[in-house]
Amino acid sequence: MSEGSVTEAIAVAGAGRRRRAPENWRPLLLLVPAFVLVSLFFLAPLIDVFVRSVTDPQPGLQNYAWLVSTEANIAVVLRTFGTAIAVTAVCLLLAYPYAYLMTIVSDRTRNLMQLFIMMPLWTSILVRTLAWMVLLQDTGPINGLLAAWFGIGPVPLIRTTFGVALGMSQVLLPFMVLPLYSSMAKIDKRLLPAASNLGANPVTAFFTVYLPLSRPGIFSGGVTVFILGLGFYIIPALLGSSKETMISALIQQQISVFLMWGQGTALGVFLLLCTILILVVVSRVNKQGSLFPGVER
Amino acid sequence: MTTLKNPRMRRGLGLLAGTAALALALVGCSGGDDAEPVPERDLGTPVAGEIEEGALAGASLTFAGSGGVFQDGQTEALWDPFAEASGAAFTQDAFDAGKLKAMVDAGNVSWDIVNTTQFDTARGCGTLYEEYDYDQIDTSKIPEGTITDKCMVPQILYGLVVVYNTDAFGDDPPTSAADFFDTEKYPGKRTVSQSTYVDPQTVEFALTAQGKDVAELSVDDIEGAFDMYRGLGDDVIGWTTGAQAQQQLEAGEAVMGLVWSGRGYGAAAAGAPVAPMWDEWMIMVDSNGIPKGVKDKQAAFAAVNYSLGAEQQAKMTELTSYGGVNVDAEPEMDELLTEWMTTEHLDTGISPNVDFWVENYDALAAAWAGWATGS
């Protein structure tokens, strides 16, 4: 940009917003420390990862070609997204009534409910996963009870997609409950009686009034859980079998075992691009309000 | 994204971008500060397990091991006594091959001795690992055939062993690799490594069961080995960590497993009714590797040489249950540990074909990736 055009532009802008303009850029200075930190520890490595994916071991797109031409990779990518979607759905189904309950109970009960949600977050994921391993294994207490009471089993629980989804949902549930609760807490409770006054039965009132109003919570919770779910490593490794391997394990293998950093970084970049794409799509849908049929904005 | 119309905002952003660029440049310039070369010392003729008092005063070494009871035992039996005798400072870290590559690529190696596999040192010899100067190491007491490349000195001798449940197969236990795959004669679930970590011995075991000689392998054999495991169908379960293998055996989830000998011993010591099958087992050796570009090679060699002493190796075995690499070592073992000690059964062990796996690593890696991800 030439010096002249800058002065010109300032003059034009200054004419429009005479009073605010001089201070306008100063607040940005507050961002400098954060920006430097993000550049150093996030952007720079990210750029490095991207560059490696197209230069290691030689320049070209061979790592991406490997990614899409290897059957195992495609299977793992599809499985990763499938698992993350399943976990998001499970979390939503469990968290929605829970968060709703939190908005109607007394303060004391709500605090207790919040404690139940937060408490698992204070325990290491590894410890919780080991506990699931004990519970779910073929010789574990759950299968023991099933055998003793119903004479069935052992039902395969560990080393199944079910086991992985269970473990992941337990870890991710708080990330669904909290945004849901915060958006539900803002909903005016009088809207529901108002709807029934106008002739809506409870089901209609829920779907036409309450659900759309709680949508911001569904979206932020859903996106958080989904994206966190994509990157899970320990739980699929311990509660799943090889048939539940997710992308993180594949990346770890390429980086730490095969020392094929080009291929590992290509997987990482691919996962990041997919995530960004999903975020863009979801935010579009969210804004236009067409996710739920019959709701027009 | 909305474009910034206000030029002052733009200038502010320009400032931010400039700061970022400067910060990045600073990061780019740092590192690579060359330390002074270490003077060559006269340590005399090396004798395994010996070092002159205070000979390495002022030196500092870091060992990156595989963690857990194993590394604790090594620290107590090998490295701490070495530090005390030689005067060198000794620290411990956790090994990861990816981290090693990062260090070597960046020219900033902070490990001096690492615990890795004989395949890794063979594969990375000269690029990731330094070649040994065997004149500085007393190799006379090392078991024959355990030095498998120029960048390694053996660290421990262990094995991939079939461990079976004695309650399930008391009178008629499995006695061959083929029995492991015979689900009619030996019904029940088997556990086998499906970790992301590539294990050539797992492949060799399946090929042994097919009657192949591991000394004469061809690339076409590799997929066939994995087909053997896949052929077990629902009867095969995987382990991804040694601890998990042990847990599956202890819980009785698997009646048979192809696991590291130390993990089988761990299950037995915890009271599980398990026993090792020594008729056909796969010998494994871990390497003492010296990372490429290490600052004080001579001190690292001296530490490795010290660790090879009979007394040190005996103590290491007592503490870790892993077989030592000094033929004169006489660890005090109880009956259980003796039963599980690989060094007592070397005559029936099958040595790996290291050269073949180094040469055909890509084919192995691709096949293993498919196996470990369930496709």
User: How far apart are alpha carbons B291 and B102 in whole angstroms?
Assistant: 11
pLDDT of residue B36: 63
pLDDT of residue B196: 87
Q: In the structure, what pLDDT confidence band is assigned to residue B3 with cuts at 50, 70 and 90?
A: very low
Residue B226 has pLDDT above 90, yes or no: yes
The answer to whether B9 contacts A25, with C-beta atoms less than 8 Å apart, is: yes
Angstroms from B189 CA to nearest CA on chain A: 11
Decide which of A155 and B37 is more confident: A155
* Partner-chain contact A75 B375, CB within 8 Å: yes
- Say which amino acid occupies B69: V
Average pLDDT, chain B: 91
Handedness of CA B236, B242, B246, B248 (dihedral sign): negative
For B282, half-sphere exposure in the C-beta direction (CA atoms, 13 angstrom radius) is: 26
DSSP per-residue string spanning chain A: --HHHHHHHHHHHHHHSTTTGGGTTHHHHTTHHHHHHHIIIIIHHHHHHHHHHHHSSSSSSHHHHHHHH-HHHHHHHHHHHHHHHHHHHHHHHHHHHHHHHHHHS-HHHHHHHHHHHHGGGGS-HHHHHHHHHHHHSTTSHHHHHHHHHH-------TTSHHHHHHHHHHHHHHHHHHHHHHHHHTS-TTHHHHHHHTT--HHHHIIIIIHHHTHHHHHHHHHHHHHHHHT--HHHHHHS-GGG--HHHHHHIIIIIS--HHHHHHHHHHHHHHHHHHHHHHHHHHHHT-SSTT---
Confidence (pLDDT) at A278? 86
pLDDT at residue B19, rounded to an integer: 58
Residue A154 confidence (pLDDT):
83
pLDDT over 50 at B290, yes or no: yes
Task: Report residue B275 as tokens.
Answer: 């026993």
pLDDT band at B279 (very low <50, low <70, confident <90, very high): very high
- Assess B15–A contact: CB distance below 8 Å, yes or no: yes
B contacts of A143 (beta carbons < 8 Å): none
Give CA–CA dist B344/B338, Å, rounded: 7
Distance (Å, whole) CA B57 – CA B12:
55
Q: Do A139 and B253 touch (CB under 8 A)?
A: yes
pLDDT at B1 over 60: no
Cβ pair A36:B244 closer than 8 A:
no
Q: Do B240 and A139 make contact, defined as CB atoms within 8 angstroms? A: no
Which residues are paired to B284 by β-bridges? B158
Beta bridge partners of B236: B190
Say if the Cβ atoms of A245 and B373 lie within 8 Å.
yes
Q: What is the DSSP letter of B109?
A: -
* Maximum pairwise Cα distance, chain A: 86
How far apart, in whole angstroms, are the C-alpha atoms of residue A41 and residue B157?
A: 42
Mean pLDDT of B61-84: 95
Burial B1-19 (b: 16+ CB within 10 A, else e): eeeeebbbbbbbeebbeeb
CA dist B182 and B196 (Å) reads 26
Residue B331 has pLDDT above 70, yes or no: yes
Contact flag B19-A259 (C-beta cutoff 8 Å): no
Taking the Cβ of residue B31 and every Cβ of chain A, the question of whether any pair is shorter than 8 Å is answered with no
Q: Give B353: exposed, middle or buried? Use CB within 10 Å, 0-12, 13-18, 19+.
A: buried
Running DSSP on this structure, what letter comes out for residue B347? G
ipTM, two decimals: 0.80
Is B138 a residue whose pLDDT tops 70?
A: yes
In the structure encoding, which two tokens stand for residue A174, read together?
Answer: 């708080």
Hey, is B343 helix, strand or coil?
Answer: helix
When mean pLDDT is compared across B83-97, B234-248, B285-299, the lowest value belongs to B234-248
Picking from B241, B217, B223, B262, the residue whose alpha carbon sits closest to that of residue B357 is: B217
- B226/B237 Cα distance (integer angstroms): 14
Residue type, A267: L
pLDDT value of position B29? 47
Q: Would you state the pLDDT for residue A21?
A: 54
Q: Which of A49-58, A280-289, B131-140, B226-235 has the lowest mean pLDDT?
A: A280-289
Q: List the end-to-end C-alpha distance of chain B, in Å, as a whole number.
A: 41
Q: What is the pLDDT of residue B35?
A: 55
Nearest to A72 among B19, B238, B369 (CB): B369
B7 with A242: Cβ contact below 8 A: no
Instruction: Tell whether B106 is within 8 A of chain A (Cβ).
Output: no
**Res. B40: pLDDT tops 90:** no
DSSP state of B25: H
Identify which has the larger pLDDT, A280 or B15. Answer: A280
pLDDT at A26: 84
Interface membership of B237 toward A (CB under 8 Å): yes
Q: What is the mean pLDDT of each run of 10 residues along chain A (297 residues)?
A: 46 49 77 93 94 94 94 93 96 96 95 92 91 91 92 88 94 95 92 91 91 91 94 91 91 92 95 90 71 42
What is the per-residue pLDDT for B69?
86
Could you tell me if B25 lies within 8 Å of chain A, comparing CB atoms? no
Q: Token pair 């094995």 is at which residue?
A: B159
What is the Cα–Cα distance from B118 to B145, expressed in whole angstroms?
Answer: 12
What are the chain A neighbours of B23 within 8 Å (beta carbons)?
36, 39-40
User: What backbone phi and psi angles, to 5 degrees, belong to B361?
Assistant: -65, -40
pLDDT tens for residues B17-27?
665 555 555 55
